Amino acid sequence: MAFDCDLFVIGGGSGGVRAARIAASDGGARVHLAEESRMGGTCVIRGCVPKKLMVFASSYPGAMEEARAYGWDVTLGGFDWLAFRGKLEAELDRLEAAYRGGLTRAGVTIHDARAVVEDAHTVRLADGQTVTARHILIATGARPFVPAFPGHELALTSNDMFALPALPKRLLVVGGGYIACEFACIMAGLGVEVTQYYRGAQILRGFDDEARGHVAEAMRARGIAIHCGTEVTELAREPGGIRATATTCGDALFDAVLYATGRVPNSAGLGLEALGVQLTRAGAVKVDGYSQTAVPSIYAVGDVTDRLNLTPVAIREGHAFADTVFGGKPTKADHHLVPSAVFTQPELGSVGLTEEEARAQEPIEVYATAFRPMRTQFAGQPEKVLMKLIVSQQSRRVLGCHIVAPEAGEMIQLAAVAIRMGATKDDFDRTVAVHPTMAEELVTLRTPSRKA
């Protein structure tokens, strides 16, 4: 059978764009890609990139306060949200154009339309056009989830935070994951009064307990009112704002309510189940190690598979798919020892096992220290940083590293290289410290804090 193209990609986010570009440029494939929204997906348009720019913007009040402690005569004026938002939108336009340009230069045909799968080799576009393809790749990502409860339609999601008409004076953030905590810190840094409700016992579930406790303490010290063990039961619009009723916090009035309570795969309405593509109860597309579904011609990568929902992982999965199907190099995306960072203030960087995971696996040693770094100590600020290594008693390999500090994301990237290579605690000990730095503590920790 003759096909219109070799590959049809549904979704123009990080994973889909990388797969399309590599298949076309390196694999010589005829590639089509459909995106119903903006090219670049969640990360570029409504996730990592605009969020990190907002993190930068929110850090300046603290920097000004620190500058005064260092002798600078500085005065902090008001924050012009609309001016910032305009520059942010211009930057996202630039990045979207760059994504489109990369695909066009690789020879990819772009369809600005929603696409669904009609059969194992046919895609139907919103205008009724059909395109046949030897292979179909689902890369539709995920979307924010807001549970159903009275007044849920009043809640904002992370998608809305970059286009607010004005900053609220009082914001309620519901959720305890990295998106909730990051936006709580961003908004507090921009001068918003922030309250955070989370139904669990501690924020940042899944991260090292000591590290997430350190972050929670730092957030509270910055004025964020974190209430764990509570859930919102109702939202109601009133003349003075939005009244939130919670299980343990009673009623409180806010100008806006952000729900960051998880994300769900964008698999609904694509026609997948009717073709035999298996989905999980949450809607994630089930795939094997090569990102192939139960229908041999259909693959899926990125957040829609709900394997490890990080942009660099989606990119790796898309590249591995292209190498496997069009490059003659069967490649599995490796989800082992993937580093991550939470861009709270201070940041949390993590790679490998948490103390809790490692303790359940084997006897370990924990090397940890919390201290006031030189920069903030001089400025008279109380905030401490945390450096932590999890070490196997038997092999001496470093099983995990957790850092809570300014620029922890930058530090954990380099630590991840060593840990990925199998570095032992002795390798860390033999490494000469760079002084004076915060990161030198990672190679000067000589005595374990505890064994388990």
Same domain, 170 and 238: yes
Residue pLDDT, tens place only, 120-143: 999 999 999 999 999 999 999 999
What digits encode the pLDDT tens for the residues 226-240?
A: 999 999 999 999 999
Query: Do 286 and 354 lie in a common domain?
Result: no
Which residue range forms the structural domain that includes residue 291? 5-143+264-326
Same-domain pairing of 211 and 309 = no
Do residues 400 and 352 touch, judged by C-beta distance below 8 A?
Answer: yes
Stated as kind and residue range, the H or E segment containing 215 is helix 209-221
300 found inside a domain: yes
Chosen domain end from 210, 243, 261: 261
* pLDDT higher than threshold 90 for residue 380: yes
Position 114 pLDDT exceeds 90: yes
The answer to whether residues 350 and 438 belong to one domain is yes
CATH of the domain at 419: 3.30.390.30
Residues 104, 209 within the same domain: no
Q: What is the pLDDT of residue 263?
A: 97
The verdict on residue 297 lying in a domain is: yes
Domain CATH code at residue 56: 3.50.50.60
Confidence label for 338 from pLDDT (cuts 50, 70 and 90):
very high
Could you tell me what percent of the chain has a pLDDT over 70? 100
Percent of the chain exceeding pLDDT 90 equals 99
- Please indicate, yes or no, whether residues 371 and 424 belong to a single structural domain of this protein: yes
How much is the average pLDDT of 349-362? 98
> Residue 1 has what pLDDT?
78
Catalytically active residues are 435
Say how many C-beta atoms besides its own lie within 10 A of residue 320's C-beta. Answer: 24
346 preceded by a cis bond (ω within 30 of 0) = yes
Tokens 């590290």 locate to 211
The overall average pLDDT reported for the chain is 97
CA angle, 335 then 336 then 339, to 5° = 90
What b-and-e string marks burial along 189-216, b requiring 16 or more CB atoms within 10 Å of the CB? bbebbbbbbbbeebbbeebbebbbbbbb
Check residue 126 and give its pLDDT: 97
pLDDT in tens, 61-104: 999 999 999 999 999 999 999 999 999 999 999 999 999 999 99
pTM of the predicted model, to two decimals?
0.96
Shared domain for 231 and 304, answered yes or no, is no
- pLDDT, one tens digit per residue, over 238-264 is 999 999 999 999 999 999 999 999 999
- The owner of tokens 């996202």 is 92
Same domain membership, residue 278 and residue 133: yes
Looking at the structure, tell me whether residues 21 and 114 fall in a common domain.
Answer: yes
